[in-house]
Amino acid sequence: MIHQQKMLAHGEIRTWELDLEAMSGCAPWSQSRPDLLSREVEQLAEAFPTLLAAVGIPVSTSWVDAAEPLTCPECNDLIVFDRGTRCATCQRPVAPEEETVVGFVGRLPALISARPFAAALKRRTEEMRTRHDPRLELFERSVFEAGGRQYLAPRFGLWFGQSWPHDDPPVMVWPEYFEVLDIPPDHIYVADPYYRLCLYARWREQPARNVLQRRVAPRLLIDLMVADLVALGKLDLALEQLDASLYEVYNMVGDAEAGAPLRRVYNGIVGS
């Protein structure tokens, strides 16, 4: 039995039992492999307990799989697997669309205290407040503090595509992701208004939990290193020292040996 939990807008915490049967009903690939879905869900819920299993709908792009959450027509919240498919906030049952995918949606936190990026973000949000920028709320919701430390927690969605596990799962970020980081979108596919992160040159079948742990979390850390360099106005200097383009820098993600020069240059400029 897997429990899911969400803090609603007014601070109330709602808990429900994940309805695996309803989830399977929205994931045609799982009909022939029911054990695979329950295993994926158990592993993800254990490693990332704040992520919510949700109904997704494909975002049409001509050449890459992408998806976005199905949302409640009344309160715009996620449609989750709770006694069928229903809104996480108002609990209204919402019938899934004809073509659906399933996946997990939530925020992945990364520590940013003492990073040059954090100081720059503070300056930028103060400027936004002064000029009453309507995007300030999105920025503020991407950051939280716990135990005196500051974290960046961007929204992610990981979706099991129709051909799971034969193709890598689309991992999507929301449009504010690169805006908050203040870095150019790189190693992405555009699925307007979302971005799908480009995480694999060659996909080998593996649990979705590994995708988040071994690719998505490290990717966020690389994005933060680039954001630190941008915050210091030193990205061009770093790329010059690396003799690489930003695109090539991202090819170092997830590769310990190839990533070593980036870490050396980064530490030389930012300080280790």
- Applying CB under 5 A, which residues contact Zn ion? 72, 74-75, 87, 89-90
Quote the tokens at residue 53: 């299993």
Task: Give Cα separations from 190 to 39, 171, 207, 208 (angstroms).
Answer: 30, 12, 25, 22
**Least Å from the CB of residue 137 to Zn ion:** 20
Nearer to Zn ion, 16 or 177 (CB): 16
Nearer to Zn ion, 14 or 141 (CB): 14
**Least Å from the CB of residue 87 to Zn ion:** 3
**Least Å from the CB of residue 240 to Zn ion:** 51
Quote the tokens at residue 65: 């799989």
Nearer to Zn ion, 93 or 233 (CB): 93
SS3 assignment, position 69 = strand
**Least Å from the CB of residue 86 to Zn ion:** 8
CA distance 101 to 133: 35
Write the DSSP assignment of 151-195 as a string of letters: EE--EEEEEE-TTTTSSPPPEEE-THHHHHHTS---SEEEETTEE
Nearer to Zn ion, 77 or 223 (CB): 77
Nearer to Zn ion, 90 or 190 (CB): 90
Task: Give Cα separations from 50 to 16, 28, 164, 193, 236 (angstroms).
Answer: 13, 25, 23, 24, 37
* 139, 154 contact by CB (below 8 A): no
Q: 116: exposed, middle or buried (C-beta count within 10 Å: 0-12, 13-18, 19+)?
A: buried
**Least Å from the CB of residue 74 to Zn ion:** 4
Nearer to Zn ion, 45 or 72 (CB): 72
